[in-house]
Chain A
Amino acid sequence: MTAPPIAEAVPLAAPTGLRRALGSLRHDLPALISILVLVLLALAAIFAPLLASHPPLQTYQEGLAANGAPIGPGHGFPLGTDPNGRDVLARLLYGARVSLTIGILANGLATVFGVLVGLTAGYLGGWVETILMRLTDVVMSFPILLFCIALISVTGPSERNVVIVIALIYWTTLARIIRSQVLSLREREFVVAARTMGLSHWRIMRKHLFPHLVPTIIVYATLGVASSILIEASLSFLGVGVPVPTPSWGQMIEQGKEYFQIAPWLLFAPGVCLIVTVLAFNLAGDWLRDLLDPTAPERR
């Protein structure tokens, strides 16, 4: 009864604990920095009212030079003012709220769609799979940004619409990845066993398939936030994202672009924020991939 195992099969996913995660962070400086950056960003967004020296929507007479041009860093405005005489730092901090919230919500929703579609298609197969995967093909054939712009311009720009539109367009890659994983999981003996026991489809998907998809989902959800934030910024830059006057980094760049020859800080500040945030999410995602799911394919 206590005979040694003959051949150790590779476990589906090695047990992952917080300790292992922290241990691997010690050897991975970029990942460590990116996690710290993300924590700081989250804190900055949460405590924006405390950190900002001015309200983000207030326009200041003294924030504009005599000729009406924005003024540079200093002079009571740590990062200068925008063309409307508003404090750039305050807008950056409040913009972090908008960018992070939209990025996370949109991508969370997209992840839910992607997992639902991929899981049902892969598990049920047959005509359900055919319809769902053709739908995925169709959505994938859409020019993403163009389509987002078109959708938002007809529904009207609002934070809610930006979230919904990004989610509607961004679930496809995950759906395909989940489906292919389910296709191979479905043939595993423990899943076949669950079927022969007479468990319901729903329970099999929930207890016997889903837990094995979690590492993949975490990795792609993290990487997806980066993409979602970039799309939100692009939409806001084009004027079909977050409506004025709510500050968002993309929109701040859009408002600054007319003045970039005389007020380059209007470009640099939100641009650097965007790059750092997206980079941090990408690095964190890469780290999670190495940690949880080294076989996962790369995603654009």
Chain B
Amino acid sequence: MTRFLLRRIPQAVIVLFGVVTLAFVLTHVVPGDPARLIAGPNASVDTVASIHHQLGLDRSIGYQYWRYLVGLFHGDLGTSYALQDTPVASAILRALPISAALAVLGVLWEALLGIPVGILAAYRPGKLADRVTTLATLVGLSAPPFWVGLLLLYVLAFKFNLFPLSGYAAPYINYLILPSFTLGLGGAAWYARLTRTNMLEALRSPYVQMARAKGMPERVVLLRHCLRNVLSPLLTMLGMDLGYFLGGVVVIESVFGLPGAGKLTFDAIGTLDVPMITGAVLFAAFFIVVMNLLVDLAYALVDPRVRR
């Protein structure tokens, strides 16, 4: 196990380092001058130059990169250009709980909707329930989430007044149900498909046929013998989704007006707030890499073959 960690953790660190470098290069070596944006269209050349100096943009790119890495090492992601004097890290940390709540609920929807539907479809393949759910999952996979969100808002919030239209206030859960449902819908469709495929495969396997031959009730075969084998790969995928959502889901947060990490990033992009953009991308990537690691770790704990 230690060996596994010794191999896997450095790998994750290398990937993260690559992410930092790529994110830095892409956000710094680009046309567009944040100083000009901060100073406003009427500012003099001198003003722009002094802002340049203030932000450290007059130094070489290599030097800026080095400073950024040093700061990163101390947990400092720099200071926002747009929100004066606000450290990037604290701004993101403030927005994070909303994104986290959204992410957790979204993953719950994925699992709670997707897996049962998949089992239902696999129960009698080719029959009506299977055909209907197969088509439904395809539609779910093909629908753009922002559109689904707006549709839900139109029907459930506007027409029937069941949910608030947008924003985030107490009781918070009311403001999270629709967004998280929208977020989870696409994933649920995906998991339903996967569950169905894996269930059908498991049903054909020799150990299931054995269980049937012994006269076990179909329900027991399905739930006890198949599901267990179907579930573990799904759990790892759910873990990765969680990592992916934690970084902030821009589209959903923007449709529902949730002030999470995604919204923060989106606003930062509008103002060319480079430190904020880089910081947000890093945060998001960090969650993805860490969840990947945890998922691998969980796998290794359960399945010694993975440890190699």
The verdict on B107 contacting chain A, using a C-beta distance below 8 Å, is: no
Q: Which residues of A contact B154 (CB under 8 A)?
A: 260-261, 264, 267
Contact across chains for B15 and A238 when beta carbons are under 8 A apart? no
Contact across chains for B250 and A267 when beta carbons are under 8 A apart? no
Cα-based distance from A138 to B16 in the complex (angstroms): 7
Cα-based distance from A141 to B280 in the complex (angstroms): 13
Question: Could you tell me the dominant secondary structure of chain B's interface residues?
Answer: helix
Measured CB to CB, the nearest residue on chain A to B153 is A260
CB contact between A141 and one of B15, B153, B255 (< 8 Å): that residue: B15
Q: Which residues of B contact A300 (CB under 8 A)?
A: 190
Contact across chains for B144 and A230 when beta carbons are under 8 A apart? yes
Contact across chains for B270 and A253 when beta carbons are under 8 A apart? no
Within A122-153, the residues touching B (CB, 8 Å) are: 134-135, 137-139, 141-143, 145-147, 149-151, 153
Q: Which of A11-19, A74-82, A105-113, A272-280 contacts B (4 or more CB under 8 A)?
A: A272-280
The verdict on A45 contacting chain B, using a C-beta distance below 8 Å, is: no
Contact across chains for A137 and B32 when beta carbons are under 8 A apart? no
The verdict on B142 contacting chain A, using a C-beta distance below 8 Å, is: yes
Q: How far is the CB of B68 from chain A (nearest CB, A)?
A: 16
Contact across chains for A149 and B265 when beta carbons are under 8 A apart? yes
Contact across chains for B144 and A250 when beta carbons are under 8 A apart? yes
Contact across chains for A142 and B150 when beta carbons are under 8 A apart? no
Measured CB to CB, the nearest residue on chain B to A152 is B269
Q: Which residues of B contact A274 (CB under 8 A)?
A: 143-144, 147
Q: Which residues of A contact B141 (CB under 8 A)?
A: 282
Q: Which residues of A contact B289 (CB under 8 A)?
A: 141
Q: How far is the CB of A173 from chain B (nearest CB, A)?
A: 13
Q: Which residues of A contact B135 (CB under 8 A)?
A: 30
Contact across chains for A142 and B19 when beta carbons are under 8 A apart? yes
Cα-based distance from A151 to B22 in the complex (angstroms): 11
The verdict on A154 contacting chain B, using a C-beta distance below 8 Å, is: yes
Contact across chains for B142 and A153 when beta carbons are under 8 A apart? no
Cα-based distance from A225 to B133 in the complex (angstroms): 23
The verdict on B247 contacting chain A, using a C-beta distance below 8 Å, is: yes
CB contact between B285 and one of A142, A145, A260 (< 8 Å): that residue: A142
CB contact between A279 and one of B16, B32, B139, B146 (< 8 Å): that residue: B139
Q: How large is the interface on B (under 10, 10 to 19, 20 to 34, 35 or more residues)?
A: 35 or more
Q: Which residues of B contact A271 (CB under 8 A)?
A: 143-144, 147, 150-151
Q: How large is the interface on A (under 10, 10 to 19, 20 to 34, 35 or more residues)?
A: 35 or more
Measured CB to CB, the nearest residue on chain A to B141 is A282
Contact across chains for B272 and A154 when beta carbons are under 8 A apart? yes
Binary interface encoding of chain A residues 273-300 relative to chain B, with 1 for a CB under 8 A from any of its CBs, else 0 = 0110011001100000000000000101
Q: Which residues of B contact A134 (CB under 8 A)?
A: 14-15, 18
Given known contacts A271-B151, A275-B142, A283-B138, A138 and B30 CB-to-CB distance under 8 angstroms: no
Cα-based distance from A238 to B19 in the complex (angstroms): 24
Contact across chains for A156 and B31 when beta carbons are under 8 A apart? yes
15 contacts between A and B (CB under 8 A): A138-B18, A142-B285, A142-B288, A143-B244, A146-B265, A151-B26, A153-B270, A154-B27, A154-B30, A156-B31, A250-B144, A253-B150, A267-B154, A282-B138, A298-B193
Q: Give 13 new A-B contacts, CB below 8 A, not counting A142-B285, A153-B272.
A: A138-B15, A138-B18, A145-B251, A149-B269, A150-B27, A153-B277, A154-B277, A156-B31, A230-B144, A267-B151, A278-B142, A298-B194, A300-B190
- Which residue numbers of B lie inside 8 Å of A, CB to CB? 14-16, 18-19, 22-23, 26-27, 30-32, 135, 138-139, 141-147, 150-151, 153-154, 158, 190, 193-194, 197, 244, 247-248, 250-251, 254-255, 262, 265-266, 269-270, 272, 274, 277, 280-281, 284-285, 288-289, 292
